Structure 1
Amino acid sequence: MATLEETNVAQVEADHSLRRRDFINIAAVSFAGVGAVAVALPLVNQMNPPADVLALASTEVDISKIAPGQAIKTVWRKQPVFVRNLTPQEIVEANKVDVSSLRDPQSLAERTKPGKENWLITLGVCTHLGCVPLGVAAGENRGEYGGYFCPCHGSHYDTAARIRKGPAPTNLVVPEYEFTSDTVVTIG
């Protein structure tokens, strides 16, 4: 039979061995975790957009020189963007249209910012097959509804850039934008 002292010594050695084993297990798991993070971080980081794409994430447009009835074409994320200053007559015509009769029902108010209803900002890409519609420059064909006309397959858009005739399934897309001042709009 073992003495009390021998039992205590055996228990201390068992505890010490257990603590050493726990330390080795914790150290091994920690080392593996650090290794996994070291491998995963570059893999995840390579999925981030490159700096040149981030630089195009937003663009500022000076709208001070766009007279009512005129439009300009700018570029955002390598796509054309139309910025049009609608005349009061164009606003009235757009608001007269029965929204429920449209293929892609949206009112002019849904496509513009409150208090800035005269500023219509859309991507200049036809929603049919991605052609660039006409109607920005003076003298270009604006189609039957006075907005934009896609020469590729004949889609006609009205003054609110809503599809009215032709194969395009939806209206010209309105990107995210905000007015940073009365003369500058930030797209994106």
Structure 2
Amino acid sequence: MADKESTHHGRRDFLQLTSIAVGAVGAVSFGWPLVFSMDKSAEVKALSSTELDIASIQPGQAILVKWRKKPYFVRRRTKDEISAAAEVEVAALRDPEKDSARVNSDRPEWLVVGANCTHFGCIPTGAKATENRGEFGGFYCPCHGSHYDTSGRIRKGPAPKNLPVPPYKFVSDNILRIG
């Protein structure tokens, strides 16, 4: 009788261990794809930032780039533009913000701002030197007449706010990463 009982005990232990092993394999098989499906897709990762070569942009020039399906200006300002933007009386601005708060302190010649007017979302002119840059030499929205200075700050017209500054950094001397 004792032999029969120990045989049942051995079988019972074997079945328990087998059940646990099969359950663990099943849980991992189910959980593994579930965990990895939570990772960002390649499309989302591609939209999270954009890098551009800025070596060919001359002082006074700007380019229009897209990041997260929105337009942005990247402008290389001249020394005169930097000086003029720094000398503006901040208290007199509609949306008060120092020029130094809108640019990278190590590379103040580079301005990166959203290219949608803060009034109704039109794209201002001023990326090209031949385009109307408004009364303050920055950007001009022809839809309703908003004028922005060389720091992207609203100076005249119906726009309520400055052009937004996205997160950006310089990866190297000639590569800028937005996002």
User: In the alignment, what sits opposite 2:64?
Assistant: 73
User: In the alignment, what sits opposite 1:139?
Assistant: 130
Structure 1 consecutive aligned stretches of length 4 or more whose deviation exceeds 3 Å: 48-51
Choose the corresponding residue for 2:87, options 85, 91, 96. Answer: 96
User: In the alignment, what sits opposite 1:153?
Assistant: 144
Alignment of 1:107-146 (within 5 A): 107-146=98-137
Structure 1 residues 128-155: Cα deviation after superposition (integer angstroms, max 9, x where no partner): 1111000001310100110000111110
Give the paired residue count: 148
Q: Give me the whole-angstrom Cα distance separating, in 1, the residues matched to 2:68 and 2:94.
A: 27
**Percent of counterpart pairs with the same letter?**
54
| 8 Å contact kept, 2:76–2:109 | yes
Q: Give me the whole-angstrom Cα distance separating, in 1, the residues matched to 2:123 and 2:42.
A: 27
Kindly indicate whether residue 153 of structure 2 is the aligned counterpart of residue 175 of structure 1: no
Secondary structure of residue in 2 paired with 1:60:
strand
> TM-score when scaled to structure 1?
0.73
CA RMSD of aligned residues (A): 1.9
Gaps spanning 5+ residues in structure 1: where?
Answer: 1-33
Alignment of 1:40-59 (within 5 A): 51-59=42-50
Gaps spanning 5+ residues in structure 2: where?
Answer: 1-26
Structure 1 residues 159-181: Cα deviation after superposition (integer angstroms, max 9, x where no partner): 11100001111000000001110
Secondary structure of residue in 2 paired with 1:139:
coil
How far the C-alpha of 1:50 sits from its partner, in A, is 5.3
